Structure 1
Amino acid sequence: MADIPSDLTDVGTHHGNQPPTETGQTVRSPEGPDPSTADAQPSSALFQVVRAPSEDQLKIRVHSARAEPSPPDEGEEIGTYRTEEALRKVLADANVDGWAAVFEDLEADRVLVDTDVNADHAWIGQARYSTITLFADAEAATTFAENHERPLSDR
């Protein structure tokens, strides 16, 4: 404490203006994974889940990991998810077991239909499929795929 000027005491309290306790701002910090459980892994994609105006259809739009997706033109956004596990949990909560899905494959420029999908389906979460549309009715999925701009694949 040798750098304290001689005219100031080295003991005492601050008598100046106190900082405001309320700043008018709300600060939120999302909870991340426990750092002691595993190493952090970069996200490969951002999954945006949208419920169509008809309750029996969900759409998963896959974006690059750093994208900031725009709100959907139609329907209600359920949320955006950075991990396959989070996406699968939301689909399980939406009870999509037994639904049909139309997978848009950008690499092959085609759409694929699978009439028996669940939240753990192997293709869900792969960045190869830019959009996955889930239908409660298999016939609606087939009709959607037949009318799609990309050709329907026979696998």
Structure 2
Amino acid sequence: MADLPEDLSGVGTHRGNDPASETGQTVRSPTGPDPNATEAQPAPALFVVVQAASGDRLSIRAHSARADVSAPEDGEEVGRYRTVEALRRGLAGVEMDADVAVFEDAEADRVLVEDDVSADHAWIGKPRYPRITLFQDSDAAHAFAEAHDRPTPHP
């Protein structure tokens, strides 16, 4: 008791009210994830879907999962998706009857035109194709592909 300040008495008892043992409050803890479930997986990419200002095409760009992507300058953003499944669900709900796609193949450094493409196409969401452009008109898709098919010369 040597640590008591000089103005306090070292002798005495507490005369305040005793704290209540029951507070009358119910405390709930949120339910956590199931420990037997599969482990969380990081998002593979950020998929940004943009409707062109002209309304004639839809563009899907794949970015790094941590990329900070600004709003598009030349069109209206339709959505951002973190998984391929979410991207496919988002494309299924788009009001565009896109059946021709131009896939930019990053590995082969070329573009490919695929007819009869739907949201379930096997190439959608693959890292090999970082940019996909969907068209309503086959001629417009082929013209777009020809204008953008510029392979980079390799030494």
Above 0.5 in TM-score? Answer: yes
Q: Any stretches of 5+ residues in structure 1 without a counterpart?
A: 13-33
The whole-number CA distance in structure 1 between the counterparts of 2:116 and 2:103 is: 13
Highest Rg: 1 or 2? 2
Taking a change above 3 Å as real, the CA distance of residues 97 and 55 of structure 1, as seen in their structure-2 partners, is closer
Match of 1:10 in 2: 18
1:78 aligned counterpart, secondary structure = strand
Q: Is the Cα–Cα contact under 8 Å of residues 81 and 87 in structure 2 kept in the other structure?
A: yes
How far apart are 1:108 and its partner, in Å? Answer: 1.3
How far apart are 1:11 and its partner, in Å? Answer: 3.1
Identical-pair percentage? 58
The whole-number CA distance in structure 2 between the counterparts of 1:68 and 1:59 is: 18
* Coordinate RMSD, CA, aligned: 2.3
Q: Is the Cα–Cα contact under 8 Å of residues 53 and 76 in structure 1 kept in the other structure?
A: yes
Letter of the structure 2 residue corresponding to residue 82 of structure 1 = R
Q: Is the Cα–Cα contact under 8 Å of residues 88 and 120 in structure 1 kept in the other structure?
A: yes
Match of 2:55 in 1: 55
Letter of the structure 2 residue corresponding to residue 109 of structure 1 = D
1:148 aligns with 2:148: yes
The whole-number CA distance in structure 1 between the counterparts of 2:15 and 2:63 is: 63
Taking a change above 3 Å as real, the CA distance of residues 8 and 107 of structure 1, as seen in their structure-2 partners, is farther
Which TM-score applies when normalising by structure 1? 0.72
Q: Any stretches of 5+ residues in structure 2 without a counterpart?
A: 1-12, 21-31
How far apart are 1:130 and its partner, in Å? Answer: 1.3
Taking a change above 3 Å as real, the CA distance of residues 98 and 58 of structure 1, as seen in their structure-2 partners, is closer
| Number of positions where the alignment pairs a residue of Structure 1 with one of Structure 2 | 126
Which TM-score applies when normalising by structure 2? 0.72
The whole-number CA distance in structure 2 between the counterparts of 1:78 and 1:35 is: 31
Taking a change above 3 Å as real, the CA distance of residues 135 and 87 of structure 1, as seen in their structure-2 partners, is same
Match of 2:101 in 1: 101
The whole-number CA distance in structure 2 between the counterparts of 1:76 and 1:65 is: 21
